[in-house]
Structure 1
Amino acid sequence: MAMDIGTEQRHAARRVRHETRRRLLTVKAIEDVTPRMRRITFSADTMEGFESLAPDDHIKLFFAAPEGPQMRDFTPRRFDREAGTLVIDFALHEAGPATSFAAGARIGDPLEIGGPRGSAVVADDFDWYWLIGDETALPAIGRWLEEARPGLPILTAIAIADASERQAIETKADWTTLWSLRSEAGTDDAAAFIALLAGQPLPPGDGFIFIAAETNVARAVRRYLTEERGHLESWMKAAGYWKRGEADAHERIED
C-alpha cells in the first residue's frame, strides 16, 4: 500500500502526557451488563484535572489484599468531569483482587485510583476502523463506538464465552459486529479471530486496526493482518491486555 507524506501527516497519532494523581472514589451504582460483565459507577468529591483522551487509556486501580495492596490496569469506560463520576467495567473471570472487589462491591465502598499517565490518541481521520478483542477489550471497544463520529464504518470482532455475553452498545457509527462464541468456536481465540476476519475484505481507503486480547492471541492476529492481509503496521495498534499464567500483565506488541 503506497503512502505519501501527506497521508502520514493526516493520520499521525499524538501522545499526550497527563498530570498523575491518586483519587479516592466511592461506589455509586452497580449494574450487571451481562452475566460476566459488571459496570460500576464511582463518584468523587472532584474529578477536576482528570483527563482521558483515548478509548484505550488505562488507569491504575488499587485493591487491598492480605499480602499488601494490589494494582491492576483498567480502562475508563465513561467519565463525567462535571458530575464527578467515573464508570469502569469489570470482567468477572478468574479469581483475583479486581474480580473479588467487583463481585462483592456495595454502594459506598471506597476505591483508590491513579492516572491515566497519558493518552495515545489515534487520528480520527481514517476512512474505517477495525476493533478486535476479547472481554478485556470490550470497555475500550465500547467507548470507541460510543464516541465515534456519525456514519464512520467500524467493524468489531469480539470473542466472548457465549451468547449471553453479547453487549448492546449505542453508537452513531456504521457498525458491523462479529461475535466469536467460545461455547461454539472453542477456546482458541486467535484461530477464531482469524476465521472471522478471513471472510471480511479490507475496506477501500485508509483504515486503522486496534487489537487487544491475551498477549499471544493479539500477537497472532497482528501477524495475520500484517503478513497475510498486508495491512500497514503503522496503522495498527496491538496490545496484550493480559497474559496467561501471569498477574497484572500488559504490553504493547510490536513484532
Structure 2
Amino acid sequence: MLEVQAVRHLTPLMLRVTLAGDDLEGFISPGYGDHIKLFFSPLGEEPVLPTLGPDGVTFPEGRPRPEMRDYTPRKYHAATNTLDVDFVLHGDGPASSWAAQAAVGQKLVIGGPRGSMIVPDAFDWYLLAGDETALPAIGRRLEELPASSKVTAVIEVAGKEEEQTFDTKANVEIIWVHRNGLEPGNNDLLLRKIESLSLPEGDCYAFIASESGVSKAIREHLVDKRGLNNEWIKASGYWLRGVADAHEPH
C-alpha cells in the first residue's frame, strides 16, 4: 500500500507519479522490462490490500474487485524509498483515468515485480523500439546501460511535444517518429522507419514493445530481412488495438 508523493507532467501526455511508503523498503527490480501490477479501485473508494493465499490474490468480500494493469517500475530511489511510475494519458481505461486525477496523498496498491529478465552488456549494440507505452522501459534501459554500450532507439510518439530526454552514459542514437494525427497502433510508421535505417554491424539484442501486431511485424522484419538472431529479440505486445487489458509477451 503506497501513497502518492508527487505528480508531474514529463510531456503533455506522459505523467510521472511518485509513490512512497514503508512497504517499498527493499524493493527490487533489476530488469528494465519488469512489470509491477497496479490495483485500481473505483474512483472515490479507499483501496484495500488483497491477501495472497494458495488460491492466489483474494479481496475482501463485499468489495468490488479492482481493475489491474501492468506497468514498468520506471525508477526506484532507495535513498528516499520512492518509486516513479510513468502513465500515458490516453483518455480512457482505469489506469489513465486514475493518473489523470492523481493527487498527493492518494493511496495505490501495487504488487510485484514477479521476475526479471537480465540482458547482459556483452552485445555489440542494442536496438530499442516502441511507442509511448514502451518509453518507461526504453528510458530506464538507456539510463542504466554503461558507457561502453552502443544503442539505436526508434520511438513513436504523437508529435514533437512528446519527445523526452534521458540521462544516459551510453553511445545512443535516438530516432523519434511522429504520428502527426495518425491512429496509434493502426499505422506502419515504426516499421517503415526501422526498414529505412542503416543498422550497425555485429551482434544485436533487440527490445521491441508496442501494439501487438506492430511488434510482431518488426520482429519478422529483423529476423527475415536483417538476419538478426530470433533468440536475441524480445518483442512484446504491450497492448492490443481494440482490446482492453491486453499484454502479450512474444
What TM-score, normalized to structure 2? Answer: 0.87
Letter in 2 for 1:92: L
Following superposition, the deviation at residue 50 of structure 1 comes to 1.8
Give distance in 1, aligned partners of 2:185 and 2:29.
33
Q: Offset of 1:184 from its aligned partner?
A: 6.9
1:216-251 residue CA offsets vs partner (Å, 9 max, x unmatched): 110111111111111110111000001111111111
- What amino acid is the match of 2:103? R
Corresponding residue for 2:139? 142
The reply to whether residue 193 of structure 1 matches residue 195 of structure 2 is no
Query: Which aligned pairs between 1:221-232 and structure 2 lie closer than 5 A?
Result: 221-232=218-229
Distance 2:204 2:182 in 1: 27
Deviates more, 1:28-37 or 1:91-100: 91-100
Q: Percent identity?
A: 46
2: CA distance, partners of 1:189 / 1:198: 17
Flag structure 1 segments of 5+ consecutive residues without an equivalent: 1-23
Report the counterpart of residue 213 of structure 1 in structure 2.
210
SS, match of residue 118 in structure 1: coil
**175-184 or 60-69: which moved more?**
60-69
Report what 1:76 is aligned to: 73
Q: Residue 169 of structure 2 corresponds to which residue in structure 1?
A: 172
Structure 1 CA distance, aligned partners of 2:212 and 2:10?
Answer: 25
Structure 2 unaligned spans of 5+? 44-63
1:86 corresponds to which residue?
A: 83
1:94–1:214: structure 2 CA closer, same or farther, 3 Å change rule?
farther
Correspondence for 2:200 among 185, 200, 203: 203
User: In the alignment, is the contact (CA less than 8 A) between 1:190 and 1:218 conserved in 2?
Assistant: no
In structure 1, the partner of 2:61 is none
Q: Is the 8 A contact 1:157 1:178 kept in 2?
A: yes
Alignment-derived partner of residue 125 in structure 2: 128
* Secondary structure class of the residue paired with 2:22: coil
Deviations 1:162-195 (A, max 9, x none): 1100011111111101111110777566621222
Quote the Cα distance in structure 2 between the aligned partners of 1:202 and 1:241: 24
Asked if structure 2 preserves the Cα contact closer than 8 Å seen for 1:47 and 1:81, the reply is: no
| Contact 1:238 1:252 survives alignment (8 Å) | yes
Query: Does the aligned pair in 1 maintain the 2:156–2:178 contact within 8 Å?
Result: yes
Q: 1:187 to 1:91 in 2, by over 3 A?
A: closer
Q: Which one-letter code corresponds to 1:60 in the other structure?
A: K
Alignment counterpart, residue 14 of structure 2, candidates 34, 37, 40: 37
Is 1:95 the counterpart of 2:72? The answer is: no
